Amino acid sequence: MPTPTTAPTDNTPGTRERLIAAMLDALRHKGYHGVGLKELLDVAQAPKGVLYHHFPGGKSELAVASIEAVIAQITTGLDKLNQRYPDVVQALEAWMGSAQKALAVSGFERGCPLATIALESAPDDVAIREALAKGFAAIRERLAHTLHQAGIEATRAHSLAALTVSAYEGALVQARVAGNVDAMQATSRALMDLVRLSLPTDQPTP
């Protein structure tokens, strides 16, 4: 990305968002410890002072904000798919399918930033781990709510939601290292079979 001729100021619109986007891109490609502040600032076209203006905690606080942004994207995406597809199985298939397409389009280079930073985090990364825990819980809750709304018993819905998140992340990692989406497709089919079996018997399925 070219360096701007005039450095942004604290009041530059979108500076905070550019910093978050730069961190997210780094997490997908290199991981939290694989990118330095200078690289993040160069990509975001932001001077160092602006980083600490928006994120006094520095790189760690920026990572937390990035995690929260990803969670918001995922939960909002799920909501939109639920509105688009009245059938819960179709909605979940579309969700899994969009992840497969995004990974393939990136040449299997853009992994899930949540999984990347979770694997890298150490015990002293308290704020990051708390943000991840809250984020994964939010995704599970959103999925559980969707499944329960489709008629699946609440306890079963929460179990399926937990399994879906775990399987989704694991399949994404496998697909990235293999360079194909076979694992994601197989995982999606198995999960959809479980969802269909869990739906009420009078619930029409595709």
- Name the residue with tokens 């479980």: 194
N-term to C-term CA, the chain: 46
- For position 29, what pLDDT does the model report? 83
Q: Do 35 and 102 touch, CB atoms closer than 8 A?
A: no
CA 40 to CA 35: how far, in whole Å?
A: 7
- For position 4, what pLDDT does the model report? 33
CA 30 to CA 116: how far, in whole Å?
A: 9
- For position 112, what pLDDT does the model report? 84
- For position 13, what pLDDT does the model report? 45
Nearest to 24 by CA among 16, 124, 143, 174: 16
Nearest to 184 by CA among 97, 83, 113: 97
- For position 102, what pLDDT does the model report? 87
Domain residues of the chain, as ranges?
A: 67-198
- For position 202, what pLDDT does the model report? 63
Spatial neighbors of 12 by CB under 8 A, at least 6 apart, are 46, 50
CA 20 to CA 51: how far, in whole Å?
A: 10
pLDDT in tens, 130-187: 999 999 999 999 999 999 999 999 999 999 999 999 999 999 989 989 999 999 999 9
Q: Strand ranges (DSSP E) for 16-169?
A: none
CA 175 to CA 183: how far, in whole Å?
A: 6
Residues of the chain with pLDDT under 70: 1-13, 202-206
Q: Do 114 and 136 touch, CB atoms closer than 8 A?
A: yes
- For position 149, what pLDDT does the model report? 94
CATH 1.10.357.10 corresponds to the domain 67-198 = yes
Q: Do 181 and 96 touch, CB atoms closer than 8 A?
A: no
